[in-house]
Chain A
Amino acid sequence: MRTDGLWSQVDDNPAGQRTAHEMGRRGFLHLAAVLGAGSLAPQIGRAADTPATAPGTRVPLRLARFPEKTDLILLTDRPPNLETPLRYFRHDLTPNDAFYVRWHYSGIPTSVDLRTFRLVVGGHVQKPLSLSLDELMRTFEPVSVVAVNQCSGNSRALYEPRVNGAQWGHGAMGNAKWTGVLLRDVLQRAGLKEGAIEVSFAGLDRGVTPDVPQFVKSLTLDRSMDGEVMIAHSMNDAPLPMLNGFPLRLVVPGWFGTYWVKSLNEITVLPEPFKGFWMAKAYRIPNTPDAQETPQLLATDTIPISAMSVRSVFVRPGPSERLRRAEPIDVEGLALDGGHGIRKVELSLDGGTSWRHAQLDPEMGKYAWRRWRFRWQPEAAGAYRLMARATNAAGETQGAHQWNRSGYQRNVIEHVDVTVS
């Protein structure tokens, strides 16, 4: 198994398109020589020749380095949407500078003055609060949780048929230790008035004009008071990067990242259900098992997305990685769900004909992802399709097909195609 820098870069792209950007001139020429014509490997930089609608195909990817970040895959620059290269998922915790970035509006905060920043808690409360970061950290009990944050549209580029939206590979997620205070404690200090039923959350980000719907999410009061939802100021024991929501963000363990409002500065307790755009119209999924519908028969009943589905992804080998016969390779990956915990991950080396158990790493917490690994020594040369299937403690498992019009909540059995020579 190749382990030099060339291949670690190639691993980063589950969609399988490589560019000269990603590997440098020497690497590009080497790879071109190795692949030759008619190989299983994807075409390089020849977008016109590839089936551009094929799942996972993306325009030639580019890396970009944004402030407080290392080189990440650039989906968009304004507003920034930056994807984590797959190799960073070979660690229990995703480093802060590699953690993915996702913003809806280009008016993102680029400067915060902690002397004047306040988290305002108001609405249907006894006593509105205006808390500085310092006050939040000093006067509330600190809590920590290791939890995975995953974008609702993670892996959307792999949808078949394709859907529009941010064309993420698998890298729109990350596992981190979040430290902060419980939302419950803050709400209790404000005191809930009789009739409070929901809580809305807003941050510092804005659209270019005042007419766009501000990014505001809501939770039920029950969820808000469950003792798990957190207002986090730190990520992996360091302040949040600006691009991940400095100085505060909401952490909703087990739920998709859309609820983890960044640059959180406004909490409003509500006596009626919240009807804002980003709950009532956006981020809706079919009200069906696995959020499933078909293009021919779209669901008429939708609900807001919430808890994450059980799923698993390969971290190594990278797609189209060339392996050597009789040489052992550490297949590894990760699995996650909405908080029941992973019971097992099964691995197929023969395109789904037979399955065996992968070895699970110790749990980091019920809301963290679960890493898994399997040592494989391929006996025969040829092409292999590796597949992984996770099952959680509630008995939920992954299926072969899943689709919805928005590309949300992907949970199909993923595969990676490799060649053994």
Chain B
Amino acid sequence: MRNMAVVTCAGLMMAVASCAMENAKAPPSTGAAGVSPVHTIELPRFQSNLPEGPGREAFAIACLSCHSTTYVTMQPPLSAAKWEEVVVKMTKVYAAPIAAEQIPQIVQYIMASKEAGSRELQETRTNTHAAEVPAVAVALEPAQRAADLKRGEALFATNCASCHGAGGAGDGPSAPSQLPHPTNLKDTRFSTEALAAAVVRGVPATAMPGFPNLSADDLRAVVTFSQQLFDAAAAPRSLPPATGEHVQAKSLYAQNCLACHGATGGGDGPLAATAPRPPANFQLIQPARSAAARIIADGVPATTMPPWRHKLDNAQRELLADYVRSFFQSSEPEFPRTRQ
């Protein structure tokens, strides 16, 4: 059992690594022999610094899925009426996911930010973390697991709780000021690989830093603890929808989600490389059913995930919630939550 877990982890690690290599910069092709025919660039990732103020979240949800804040900050001073005209144009021409009642909030936020000085709404460059992620296998032997949980809890309290909250619900003292919000670790199932990668490398275009210098034991411990914050027993895995619905879900997904999340949910769609925060890889993470439905409806503020409630009705969003959950691939053993 233990060996199988290790092999599975290693296998998935290699799959992730080869995806990373495909995205690595290749020399341009001139058609000459020996030159790679695949030409790839890697874009730098920028993160918005969104000053606090009324309308901040509305702005982050409505605008940043399509373009960054520089589209606002570079403008000369414009009147509120002019900004409203601009925002309305975004909805009418560019299908911006904004409800009519949100427009005044968004305009208010823009005006306040511009008045404070466009410097406030700047972007800072974040480095993609190129640290190598070691293979991690959570211990299955009870005594070792207990020790890891204890050590992991201590590490979590020191390093993670200020953002993620003591219980991992994404409600730590720093959380309210951060956009995107710190992940709620209780409502998403993370494979060991996904957690290890996030801890070691951080998450680009978010406030999640990388911890590339953790010892192997500490990494295993914090991954073990973080993983069990998701109550696996309380949220059984989703089965693929019934046949007729599956066809409809697949079609909805292809139209709306595939461009970023990829044909098999791997976060590797054609637009994925243009998203500063990588789109979720559903093969390695699985939101709880309610979390998936909520995120599809509301979007993820200050990321390229827009709210779909304006475009897709409740039934469509429910289908998609089931569909995206069906991509999860990990065959790791599951443990009930032992810590609150």
- Residues on A lying within 8 angstroms of B by beta carbon are 47-48, 52-53, 57-60, 64-68, 74-80, 105-115, 133-134, 137, 157, 162-164, 166-167, 206-213, 239, 242-243, 246-247, 277, 281
| Further pairs besides A78-B67, A167-B74: 8, Cβ < 8 Å | A76-B68, A110-B42, A110-B43, A133-B31, A162-B76, A209-B306, A211-B311, A213-B93
Within 8 A of A (CB), among B135-175: none
B290: CB under 8 A from chain A? no
Note all chain A residues with C-beta closer than 8 A to B177. none
B228: CB under 8 A from chain A? no
Query: Are B42 and A106 interface neighbours, CB within 8 A?
Result: no
Note all chain B residues with C-beta closer than 8 A to A75. 70, 74
Note all chain A residues with C-beta closer than 8 A to B38. 111-115
Note all chain B residues with C-beta closer than 8 A to A53. 76-77
Note all chain A residues with C-beta closer than 8 A to B97. 209
Docked CA distance A126–B190 (Å) = 55
Query: Are B259 and A277 interface neighbours, CB within 8 A?
Result: no
Within 8 A of A (CB), among B263-315: 270-271, 273-274, 276, 304, 306, 311
Interface residues on chain B, size class: 35 or more
Query: Are B259 and A208 interface neighbours, CB within 8 A?
Result: yes
Q: List 24 A-B contacts (CB under 8 A).
A: A53-B76, A66-B41, A67-B25, A67-B43, A68-B41, A76-B68, A77-B44, A77-B123, A78-B68, A79-B67, A107-B270, A110-B43, A111-B41, A112-B40, A137-B31, A164-B82, A167-B75, A207-B66, A208-B65, A208-B271, A209-B66, A209-B256, A210-B255, A210-B259
Report if A78-B276 is in contact (Cβ < 8 Å); known contacts: A115-B37, A164-B75: yes
Docked CA distance A281–B25 (Å) = 38
Docked CA distance A164–B276 (Å) = 25
Docked CA distance A80–B42 (Å) = 13
Note all chain A residues with C-beta closer than 8 A to B86. 164
Query: Are B118 and A59 interface neighbours, CB within 8 A?
Result: yes
Which B residue sits closest to A133, measured CB to CB? Answer: B31
Cβ distance B65 to chain A, nearest Cβ, rounded Å = 6
Query: Are B94 and A207 interface neighbours, CB within 8 A?
Result: yes
Query: Are B39 and A246 interface neighbours, CB within 8 A?
Result: yes
Note all chain B residues with C-beta closer than 8 A to A57. 76
- Residues on B lying within 8 angstroms of A by beta carbon are 23, 25, 28-31, 37-44, 46, 65-68, 70-71, 73-78, 82, 86, 93-95, 97, 117-119, 123, 125, 255-256, 259-260, 270-271, 273-274, 276, 304, 306, 311
Report if A239-B119 is in contact (Cβ < 8 Å); known contacts: A64-B44, A75-B74, A78-B46: no
Main secondary structure of the interface of A (DSSP, over half): loop
Cβ distance A372 to chain B, nearest Cβ, rounded Å = 30
Note all chain B residues with C-beta closer than 8 A to A206. 259, 270-271
Docked CA distance A57–B74 (Å) = 10
* Residue from the set B65, B71, B93, B270 with the largest chain A CB neighbour count within 10 Å: B71
Note all chain A residues with C-beta closer than 8 A to B118. 47, 59
Query: Are B76 and A76 interface neighbours, CB within 8 A?
Result: no
Query: Are A48 and B117 interface neighbours, CB within 8 A?
Result: yes
Report if A239-B75 is in contact (Cβ < 8 Å); known contacts: A112-B39, A208-B304, A277-B93: no
The 3 closest A-B pairs by CB, nearest first: A211-B95, A67-B41, A162-B76
Note all chain B residues with C-beta closer than 8 A to A115. 37-38
Note all chain A residues with C-beta closer than 8 A to B271. 106-107, 206, 208
Cβ distance A223 to chain B, nearest Cβ, rounded Å = 26
Query: Are A74 and B70 interface neighbours, CB within 8 A?
Result: yes
Note all chain B residues with C-beta closer than 8 A to A113. 37-39
Query: Are A239 and B95 interface neighbours, CB within 8 A?
Result: no
Docked CA distance A166–B94 (Å) = 17
Cβ distance A73 to chain B, nearest Cβ, rounded Å = 11
Query: Are B76 and A164 interface neighbours, CB within 8 A?
Result: yes
Docked CA distance A319–B76 (Å) = 20
Query: Are A110 and B40 interface neighbours, CB within 8 A?
Result: yes
Cβ distance B69 to chain A, nearest Cβ, rounded Å = 9
Query: Are A107 and B74 interface neighbours, CB within 8 A?
Result: no
Docked CA distance A57–B76 (Å) = 8
Report if A110-B274 is in contact (Cβ < 8 Å); known contacts: A58-B74, A239-B30: yes
Docked CA distance A163–B75 (Å) = 8
Which B residue sits closest to A157, measured CB to CB? Answer: B76
Which A residue sits closest to B82, measured CB to CB? Answer: A164
Query: Are A59 and B74 interface neighbours, CB within 8 A?
Result: yes
Query: Are B41 and A242 interface neighbours, CB within 8 A?
Result: yes
Report if A110-B37 is in contact (Cβ < 8 Å); known contacts: A57-B76, A208-B66: no
* Residue from the set B29, B77, B123, B311 with the largest chain A CB neighbour count within 10 Å: B29
